[in-house]
Amino acid sequence: MEDVLDLYHEPYDPAYPVICFDEGGKQLFAETRSPLPMRPGQPQRFDYEYERCGTANLFMCFEPLAAWRQVTVTDHHTMLDFADCLRDLVDFQRPEATLIRVVLDNLSTHSLAALYQAFEPVEARRIAQKLELHYTPKHGSWLNMAEIELGVLQRQCLDRRIENQAFLTSEVHAWQAQRNQQASTVNWHFSTADARLKLRKLYPSFHA
């Protein structure tokens, strides 16, 4: 926990960016009847019935100090999908960085071993050398600011029926562009000192 908290309070350095990474899902639903249009004083109305159209996965990369985020929509969230996101981060999103510090939780897929599942060893090693992974503790995913940003995405963009992945991708990218243009970010204040005071029950006790 303290490792992540100390990382959040380091000054901004584009050569060593701190990227928060998380993933979420979105169920896809189609309308079985056309919604009734809006009228003065009355919102658009939808029928309670719907058709299930599968699910989609959302990978969130969020750099709080740069007020930047990128959301990638995929069919699945396997190790191969995770590896593709890491390569994109290294080669296209932050190619100028010396080392990218990535904050993420302890899912089994969230490992540099995923790179060796997806790519040849030389390529996997090249990508891995540009990454430093920092894991949130068990039951401590709230420390990951990407989780907060996924919550904002859910409230502002995904709290409605979306039928297919193409439309989902279009809507997510529009939301992402607006948030980046507005330089929206998370103002994180919780520190290591706060943790030692407010979460002292999680620390071991020492008795003389």
Banded pLDDT at 207 (limits 50, 70, 90): low
Q: Is the pTM of this model over 0.95?
A: no
Q: What percent of the chain has pLDDT over 90?
A: 74
Q: What share of the chain is helix, strand, coil (3-state, %, to 5)?
A: 40, 25, 35
pLDDT tens digits along 93-136: 999 999 999 999 988 899 999 999 999 999 999 999 999 999 99
Q: Which residue has the higher pLDDT, 138 or 63?
A: 63
Q: Centre a 10 Å sphere on the Cβ of residue 120 and count the other Cβ atoms it contains.
A: 10
Structure tokens at 193: 């000192």
Q: What is the pLDDT of residue 53?
A: 81
pLDDT over threshold 90, residue 39: no
Identify the structural domains of the chain with CATH numbers, from first to last: 2-31+48-197 (3.30.420.10)
